[in-house]
Amino acid sequence: MAKAPKTIYQCSECGGTTPKWQGKCPHCGEWNTLQESLAAPEPKNARFQSWAADVSQVQALSEVTATEVPRNPTGMGELDRVLGGGLVNGAVILLGGDPGIGKSTLLLQTIALMAQSRKVLYVSGEESAQQVALRAQRLEVQPDGVNLLAEIRMEAIQTALKQHEPDVVVIDSIQTMYSDQITSAPGSVSQVRECAAQLTRMAKQMGISMILVGHVTKDGAIAGPRVLEHMVDTVLYFEGDTHSNYRMIRAIKNRFGAANELGVFAMTEHGLKGVSNPSAIFLASYRDDVPGSCVLVTQEGSRPLLVEIQALVDDAHGFTPKRLTVGLEQNRLAMLLAVLNRHAGIACFDQDVFLNAVGGVKINEPAADLAVILAMLSSFRNRPLPEKMVAFGEIGLSGEVRPVARGQERLKEAEKLGFKRAIVPKANMPRNPKEYPGLQIFGVSSLQEAVDVCRHTPE
């Protein structure tokens, strides 16, 4: 009688396995993530024996020669900014984003530009060769020099890489690839982990710059095991509203450059175009004579951005006031409302409060606290803030205004865009205010001082 295949339960978040089903994963602690699958037998010839052949020698760190890593520009300036200057030989990049956000469009444009000087290969696992050709025709990109492979089998892809030896490879997407060495279906935790490991190993051995496209879950995280993000060198997230013409790429992890860099693109009829001055776009419809509006100078990596913060404070018509934020942290709003009540004497317990960061930008830094409070105060009193004014600063629970990083760069960006006034933490006051001749800077150390500045500054 044939022996029944052994079944295991594998976590869709961390990839851990357990012989019995449990409501909570014993490895990562997530609930309802264990899925039943067949246990794959380990082949006799281990897949990683090749690593044991080349044993690294122990050496002193002082004896290691550190050289600058050469960069290969992609031809897309905003993408190069996020990557830290361009692609690095042997680097593996993971690009995630919502369906239809423009990942395949961006990579097809990029690889067509790089084909003019380097040998490239586009591996499509989701679309046929004809569909990719139609997209290239719509985008009016130059297809000369772009090698295309429509394949999802990992063994066939590895053979093609060894035969053509490309410099740059795009895998679209990693969730559609499968290896014959794993019995589970494409997109499963084991398949994604194994395929990514094999591609990463080949990229390091052959010096290939490889870009992997990753799907995201409904929570916005890249689908598959978390080890996928640890395995690659750079993790990029493609963000933006599908109803808007603007897209943003954010670097979450980068071993060859600074993290948290931001690149802004505009979606046009001929694909994505880089935006060199995104602050002007985010403030295109800004009006300083409207209550509830305040301009924030936020910092995204090395780039200062001016973003309009809108607030609407209105009488609550139910038993529980509503608190809603778009692009800002929900929990921080509750804290700022409590600080506003205790240290400024303005109670909003019977008010609905709505906040919005215009332009689809997601702001996570605490430097937005001061601008958020001033916008809520302006809406609550139904009086606009002084014209041509910006603000930034972190608010503490005792009502103090704390300094933020790169205050001088924020002030220079505000002055460049024509703003006349700025409310900043006192510790961020420039030593020589004459460096900003067109900007009147008010340094405040508490929330009450900021409120007094707005009250006594002529509109």
> Is 318 labelled a binding residue?
no
* Residue 104 labeled ligand binder: yes
CB-CB neighbours of 326 under 10 Å: 14
**Cβ(22)–Cβ(160) under 8 Å?**
no
* Amino acid identity, position 276: S
Tokens of 215: 């799907």
Tokens found for residue 242:
């599908």
Q: Which of 272, 252, 250 is nearest to 263 (CA)?
A: 250
- Any idea how long the chain is? 459
99 is in an annotated binding site: yes
DSSP letter, residue 226 = T
CA distance readout (Å), 61 to 66, 204, 341: 10, 21, 55
* Nearest CA-CA partner of 98 in 219, 275, 271, 260: 219
Q: What is residue 421's three-state secondary structure? A: strand
**Torsion of the alpha carbons at 20, 23, 24 and 25, rounded to the nearest 10:** 40
395 marked as part of a ligand binding site: no
My answer on whether omega of the bond before 62 falls inside 30° of 0, hence cis, is no
Q: How many whole angstroms separate alpha carbon 158 and alpha carbon 202?
A: 8
Helix (H, G, I), strand (E, B) or coil at 253: strand
Nearest Cα to Cα of residue 273 among 112, 120, 109: 109
Is 363 annotated in a binding site? The answer is no
Q: Which of 5, 158, 175 is nearest to 95 (CA)?
A: 175
What's the distance, CA 450 to chain centroid? 32
- The H or E element containing residue 132 is helix 129-139
Q: Which residues are annotated as a binding site?
A: 97-104
Q: Which residues are annotated as a binding site for ATP?
A: 97-104
